[in-house]
Structure 1
């Protein structure tokens, strides 16, 4: 057993990795798969017991629509989900084949509709199929730097501290934790240092979905175009005047819910789970601070209290939920934005508005400026027309401080408003795939990760 001296003690050293991914979430799991598929010796360190991050541990389903091309790993994952019985899209997706309007199609046409439990299995099996390793219950504690490179990461495990040595490191922690420990400069929040609110999602089972669907139609709902047994959803956002808002208002007056639940309610059916709905709430009032450790801890407590009130509302005020029950609560908060690195380039709101393209761009994005607020403001969404997009430069993923580090996911270099677009799963998966290929390119071409040219990497990926 090889060892190193850390903090005046001997700890076990795991070495000879080509790629070490910190965080097995939306970006990290794909980065690990892409790296392993490119024959790199790869390890993914995940603090929970499941891959997929917000999509699985956080129950964030479905995946919001994008009209830019999927990368290869995402295609592979989605095809595997179909083999496991999930319906990838609702039937209306076929309308896109002859779609000619300028406005973006209604969301139900093109949402990626998946069961979080099945996605976790698919991600795990795919990573292992390509020879990647997974270390669950592993928490990043520290890094050791030599010559502007990460030499070792220090991980807390059930056996105590261990060190991992690797040629390349991917920060897919979501909170830029690896980057911050390595001394990379970061930003957080908007111009007033306020973050977007966090959520704690949950699922209800035992629902008579047909009865609920008929009830929504009887109220005059025309927001959801999909019909059972396919993807169907409900939404109420204060100020949008959707059909459930008067029902929520009655529950508020009765003292069953508070104004915090009244502001926002959204739920989606789940493929392969008859009688279940996944709720994109509660959105937790945290004084717009998602970086304070005690704020986050308290968000779980407050979130579970709010879930109980949502459940009582649905059970007693909404037809079809009379025999429902809480079947699952997420083990991970839905954090929309926390820390963002200062990279070699920054994606800006101006870039989004201008639909900016560049030679070193490696990922396309087209989601709107999705900043969660208590009151809906359509004037601040800046939604694109059909098939418009911007591009994310490679240099948004790398830093000046550390040469063998690449960052993937919501914490890449961007300003607050641009991050509200790039943070969705489609773009984060693509960033993860780029990170995996970049590690292969870096090792094969003997060039540091932060010196890789986006144009050359894009050509390399297209050939590979």
Structure 2
């Protein structure tokens, strides 16, 4: 085995939204930083699994609770004509959603990281972790030309599945009380869709859509999302455990993202079961395309334009941390002294075994705090967590897993890792006041020169 050693202040493993923001925060705080990603592009679920749009930067009452690098990315996408910014969610599930062009997001992420002088290593996958007495000594990544040992003062696990923490021996949990996880979804896009016809049908048949849908406001608001077509769905009787059609418009004017496929009962941590889910998901896409063209107004001349590079994963490992965020914390809008991020997204649990979604909303349309202790694993002294693998219960994970939340958590993890490296302390001993001060400093003007 060929081992080429490299040393950094901070190593971020995983290039999804959490990992991108973690690497940017660490590098901007002065840390020599590397970001490792197994695909040839960045964006994680937002790009490879077509998790679109981003939901949500706001509480149900309309207060924006996620800012920082996440908002900076939205601002840059707006400047690049790749996002309209935050729009009202016409499904009525949350206050706003944020459409974006994933291809532009991929390139923008490259530019941001380059400007911050982050070392990027693509086509590299974590293969092993060497740890002693609760401290990671190095992480081994597999590449086309052998294995590399990456040594760092602090590490950020942004793998989504908690792979680094798992390989380092950190304790973890999975799924509900029966260890069953939320279902997987193969998302896809269609073009040639008549959005005007969908809007008119919603106005004529409001009873066939989600009760909170903003149908009465469609003359003033752009149609951003649709949940319904209940009559058509029931008549079709497809073998997919859903209650109706869920789709989001954009980024093209005649384009929608369809979030309907559901593969239940398979474990994404089992390679054979994950393989079966990939196959089943694509079968479902073909079935759904035919259904939409044949039965749903506005889709008569639509066509399949894109399918996710991989199936979308909602839940796998949750690494146990110094604190385990729970459902009551979320729904009561609890505040914590060591807050490092906030979220206003409701608890949104897709039934692991059948149809239906369990939705519980935060008290008085508010938001809850995510404490620093949730990103500090219990037994590893130089590791932090970012993304859907942080320390929560099954119920709380159904809100922290959403992309804007993961972006905010990633920024905090990266900044904390940089502080741990600078102060030569354990990640659990990072001074919270210094971290919070760093997170509240605001974004820097990077002087973009390559993307116009």
Counterpart position of 1:245: 230
Tell me, yes or no, if structure 1 residue 168 matches structure 2 residue 154: yes
What is the Cα deviation at residue 227 of structure 1? 5.8
Counterpart position of 1:312: 290
> Which of 136, 139, 145 is the matching residue for 1:150?
136
Is contact 2:157-2:386 (8 Å) kept?
Answer: yes
Counterpart position of 1:101: none
Take 2:218 and 2:53, find their aligned partners in 1: how far apart are those partners?
Answer: 14
Counterpart position of 1:201: 187
Counterpart position of 1:299: 277
Counterpart position of 2:100: 114
Counterpart position of 1:212: 198
What is the Cα deviation at residue 356 of structure 1? 2.2
Residue 371 of structure 1 aligns to a residue in which SS?
strand
Take 2:266 and 2:275, find their aligned partners in 1: how far apart are those partners?
Answer: 14
Take 1:400 and 1:195, find their aligned partners in 2: how far apart are those partners?
Answer: 22
Is contact 2:247-2:257 (8 Å) kept?
Answer: yes
Take 1:33 and 1:112, find their aligned partners in 2: how far apart are those partners?
Answer: 21
Equivalence map 1:177-196=2 (5 Å): 177-196=163-182
**Long gaps (5+) in structure 2:** 443-452
Counterpart position of 1:6: none
Counterpart position of 2:74: 78
The superposition leaves residues 324-372 of structure 1 with CA deviations (integer Å, 9 ceiling, x where unpaired) of: 2111111132211110111111112232243322211211122211101
Counterpart position of 1:41: 32
Take 2:298 and 2:169, find their aligned partners in 1: how far apart are those partners?
Answer: 53
What is the Cα deviation at residue 291 of structure 1? 2.5
Number of aligned residue pairs: give it: 428
Take 1:327 and 1:49, find their aligned partners in 2: how far apart are those partners?
Answer: 21
> Which of 238, 245, 263 is the matching residue for 1:284?
263
What is the Cα deviation at residue 264 of structure 1? 4.1
Residue 174 of structure 1 aligns to a residue in which SS?
coil
Take 1:262 and 1:28, find their aligned partners in 2: how far apart are those partners?
Answer: 31
> Structure 1 length normalisation: TM-score?
0.86
> Which of 350, 353, 356 is the matching residue for 1:372?
350
Counterpart position of 1:18: 9
Tell me, yes or no, if structure 1 residue 325 matches structure 2 residue 303: yes
Take 2:350 and 2:263, find their aligned partners in 1: how far apart are those partners?
Answer: 11
Take 1:116 and 1:174, find their aligned partners in 2: how far apart are those partners?
Answer: 19
Tell me, yes or no, if structure 1 residue 56 matches structure 2 residue 47: yes
Residue 49 of structure 2 aligns to a residue in which SS?
coil
> Structure 2 length normalisation: TM-score?
0.88
What is the Cα deviation at residue 71 of structure 1? 2.9
The superposition leaves residues 227-248 of structure 1 with CA deviations (integer Å, 9 ceiling, x where unpaired) of: 6994422213xxxxxxx11112
What is the Cα deviation at residue 147 of structure 1? 4.7
The superposition leaves residues 394-432 of structure 1 with CA deviations (integer Å, 9 ceiling, x where unpaired) of: 111112322110011111111111111211112111100
Take 2:385 and 2:330, find their aligned partners in 1: how far apart are those partners?
Answer: 20
Residue 97 of structure 2 aligns to a residue in which SS?
coil
Residue 373 of structure 2 aligns to a residue in which SS?
helix
What is the Cα deviation at residue 177 of structure 1? 0.3
Counterpart position of 1:260: 240
What is the Cα deviation at residue 77 of structure 1? 0.3
Is contact 1:267-1:280 (8 Å) kept?
Answer: yes
Take 2:288 and 2:145, find their aligned partners in 1: how far apart are those partners?
Answer: 40
Take 1:335 and 1:227, find their aligned partners in 2: how far apart are those partners?
Answer: 35
> Which of 430, 433, 436 is the matching residue for 1:452?
430
Is contact 2:332-2:362 (8 Å) kept?
Answer: no
> Which of 390, 393, 409 is the matching residue for 2:368?
390
Is contact 1:21-1:170 (8 Å) kept?
Answer: yes
The superposition leaves residues 52-90 of structure 1 with CA deviations (integer Å, 9 ceiling, x where unpaired) of: 111111111111122342232112101001011121133
**Long gaps (5+) in structure 1:** 1-8, 94-103, 237-243, 253-257
Counterpart position of 1:235: 227
Take 1:353 and 1:179, find their aligned partners in 2: how far apart are those partners?
Answer: 28
What is the Cα deviation at residue 277 of structure 1? 0.5
Counterpart position of 1:439: 417
Is contact 2:130-2:139 (8 Å) kept?
Answer: yes
Q: Which moved more, 1:202-211 or 1:426-435?
A: 202-211
The superposition leaves residues 176-223 of structure 1 with CA deviations (integer Å, 9 ceiling, x where unpaired) of: 100010010111111111111111111011222223332333333672
- After superposition, the Cα gap between the structure-2 partners of 1:43 and 1:289, relative to the gap in structure 1 and judged at 3 Å, is same
Take 1:409 and 1:110, find their aligned partners in 2: how far apart are those partners?
Answer: 21
Is contact 2:194-2:298 (8 Å) kept?
Answer: yes
Take 1:79 and 1:124, find their aligned partners in 2: how far apart are those partners?
Answer: 16
Take 2:51 and 2:184, find their aligned partners in 1: how far apart are those partners?
Answer: 12
Is contact 2:187-2:258 (8 Å) kept?
Answer: yes
Over the aligned positions, Cα root-mean-square deviation in angstroms equals 2.3
